[in-house]
Amino acid sequence: MSLVGKKAPIFNAPAVINGSEIVESFSLEQYLGKKEVMFFFYPKDFTYVCPTEILAFQEKLGEFEKRGVAVVGASTDTPEVHLAWLNTPKNKGGIEGVNYPLVADVAKTIAYNFGVLSGDWNYNEENELIFEGDGVAFRGTFYIDKEGIVRHETINDLPLGRNIDEMIRIVDAWHHVQEYGEVCPANWEEGKDAMKPDPEGVASYLATH
């Protein structure tokens, strides 16, 4: 079930911040009333597609920050594995230089509550509770406003990497909606015309595009 328009699930979990420090209790609540958040899940540390996404978010971090958006990543790895990966050079498959928070969802409850956990718990024939599936997070991305409401979400299967520029476009679109009260049509980008949210405004837009 989609979280769009709903409060993002609350959590407290270990995380690595600033690329070098493990904190035992990290929460998105620290951003409430201060910053929006682009919260993304990835399957696993020390893999292949994941570092390309994590480093791409880092490369565009300044674009998010100047828009008042914090970037936070999460996977089901431990904080110690996060830290080891952060200390591994890029030319050896690491993500050295990444300085936004990486949450350690070891219990898998955060991924489960956000609806991105690949698998589920079930009972076997002996009535034992077991986990069926990969047990890692799909590539879920959640854009959360200052009030903690999810305004956009996408969930990709494990092999499908994200387009980080699209995440920035979504931020720009939401800010445009908030500032001007207009709605953003297909393929809208910052600087392009938007639409007045009424029949006359829509007709005028369609007639000129």
* pLDDT tens for each residue of 18-67: 999 999 999 999 999 999 999 999 999 999 999 999 999 999 999 999 99
Confidence of residue 195 (pLDDT cuts 50, 70, 90): confident
1 within domain boundaries: no
5 within domain boundaries: no
Same domain, 142 and 171: no
184 counts as catalytic: no
pLDDT at residue number 199: 62
Same domain, 115 and 187: no
Same domain, 115 and 134: yes
Q: The CATH number of the domain where 60 resides is what?
A: 3.40.30.10
pLDDT tens digits, 163-184: 999 999 999 999 999 999 989 8
Q: How many domains does the chain have?
A: 2
Residue with tokens 């709903």: 6
Find the catalytic residue in 3, 8, 13, 50.
Answer: 50
Share of the chain above pLDDT 90, in %: 79
Nearest CA to 205 among 185, 177, 176? 185
pLDDT tens digits, 53-93: 999 999 999 999 999 999 999 999 999 999 999 999 999 99
4 within domain boundaries: no
Residue with tokens 């300044």: 62
Range of the domain at 96: 13-161
Please state the pTM of the whole predicted model: 0.92
149 within domain boundaries: yes
User: What are the tokens at 162?
Assistant: 């994200």
107 within domain boundaries: yes
C-alpha to C-alpha distance for 4 and 145, rounded to whole angstroms: 11
3 within domain boundaries: no
